[in-house]
Amino acid sequence: MGPDPLERSLFLQVEADLREAIGPPETQEALAPIDRLERLRETLAVLAVSLARTHGHLAWFLSGALTVLEPVLRWRALPAENRHSFGTTIPSPKQYTEAEDAVRRLQDAVTGITNVAPPQ
């Protein structure tokens, strides 16, 4: 059974917003680290707002995606003194790439969910 029309509409918006935030690998890798981090944090905002608008299985799915991407919240793009870093770390280029790849897999999963035929 696929999503109902309201859920499908929400997921179409999620898909569009995620694709706007995280583009193809060559586009993302050309960005400065601070811009890459900004876009990854935008994906968290998209997921959080969407989670607030749904319930049930779709809410469970979105909360799982948020949990997986949560480490992004502890990243920073600029150097800081230890006492002013609030426990944040500067991620490696590989960590950026892995997080962006996770968002792309999420985009594909959302596409699959929205392409399931709605209930009759």
The pair of structure tokens assigned to 40 is: 């990854």
d(CA 86, CA 68): 21
Report pTM: 0.88
> pLDDT at position 92, please?
95
pLDDT tens, per residue, the chain with 120 residues: 667 888 889 989 999 999 999 999 999 999 999 999 999 999 999 999 999 998 888 889 999 999 999 999 999 998 887 677 888 999 999 999 999 999 999 999 999 888 875 555
> pLDDT at position 119, please?
55
**Which residue, among 49, 37, 42, has the nearest Cα to 96 in the 3D structure?**
37
